[in-house]
Structure 1
Amino acid sequence: MSTPDPMKGFRGVMAGALLIEAIVVALALLVVHRTGGGLASWKGVLVGGIVLGLILTCGLLRFSWAMYVVIALQVSMLVSFFAVPELGVLGLIFGLVWTYLFWLRRDVAKRMAEGRLPSQQDS
């Protein structure tokens, strides 16, 4: 019997966070539609591109470099504050969420290396 991979479950948590973030950012399209010149404007394309990036990144989480893609998406949301302030605020909120998730990921990896996870204990 093989031991469960805790990082596999954690990737599921990160994928769920990305999907929730994509849904919330997609709701910003409604704001852009009303105030930013429509969905076909560059602001609408910016928000739509970030939503698409968030959704596509869910499938890339099995690769170690996907964390850099997540960070790049968060930074792009923060930088877009000057174009679409609502998106920048969401970038700040989800930036805090991802900071916590990366801290948890580091903690799980540390516990794995030390052999302190419940799945690594003898029953």
Structure 2
Amino acid sequence: MSEPEKNDAIPPEGEMGAAARPSGLRNPEAAVRGLGAGTLVLEAIVLLLAIQPIRILGGDLGTWGITLVIVLAVMAAVLAGCMRRRWAWGAGTALQALLLAGGLLHWSLAALGVIFGLAWAYAMYVRRSILG
């Protein structure tokens, strides 16, 4: 009997073959988690940086509005660290809806909600296209 050729060998258990990775990524799950976490971290930073300009440039962002922005920023940062869990993607979607609803307190929060909602929708699209 002849020895099997190297191309006919079955990869070790747990190692994915090239056919199982249509995206070409070594670890597609980690790449998608990184995209989601990066989006949420960027959102947290922008929310915290937006407080003062909104207050100075004519925003009537009171104590409730500032508290909402800080809570949303903390939630985004915490969710960025929880992206390994399946529920974090749904919670991220809910966070985008809450930010959009924050537009009831100030129009600029609705604008940020639209911008980051679109970024989150793109991250979800990439997740679906890579992971299936």
What is the TM-score when the length of structure 1 is the normalising length?
A: 0.80
Is 2:61–2:105's contact at 8 Å kept on the other side of the alignment?
no
Aligned to 1:97: 119
- For the aligned residue pairs, the C-alpha RMSD in angstroms reads 1.7
Map 1:44-123 → 2, pairs under 5 A? 44-110=66-132
CA pair 86-8 structure 1, distance change in 2 beyond 3 A: same
The structure number with the bigger radius of gyration is: 2
Among residues 45, 51, 76, which one is paired with 1:23 in the alignment? 45
Aligned to 1:7: 29
**1:32 CA displacement:** 4.3
Is 1:57–1:69's contact at 8 Å kept on the other side of the alignment?
yes
Pick the structure with more helix per residue: 1
Moved over 6 A (4+): none
Q: Among the aligned pairs, what percent are the same residue?
A: 32
**1:5 CA displacement:** 2.5
Secondary structure of the structure 1 residue equivalent to 2:86: coil
**Unaligned stretches of 5+ residues in structure 1:** 111-123
**Unaligned stretches of 5+ residues in structure 2:** 1-11, 17-25
- The reply to whether residue 36 of structure 1 matches residue 51 of structure 2 is no
- Tell me how many residue pairs correspond in the alignment: 108
Secondary structure of the structure 1 residue equivalent to 2:47: helix
**1:21 CA displacement:** 1.0
CA pair 105-37 structure 1, distance change in 2 beyond 3 A: closer
Q: Deviations over 1:29-84 (max 9, x none)?
A: 1134433356xx11110110001001111111100000111011100011111102
Is 1:11–1:61's contact at 8 Å kept on the other side of the alignment?
yes
The 2-side partners of 1:33 and 1:76 are apart by 20
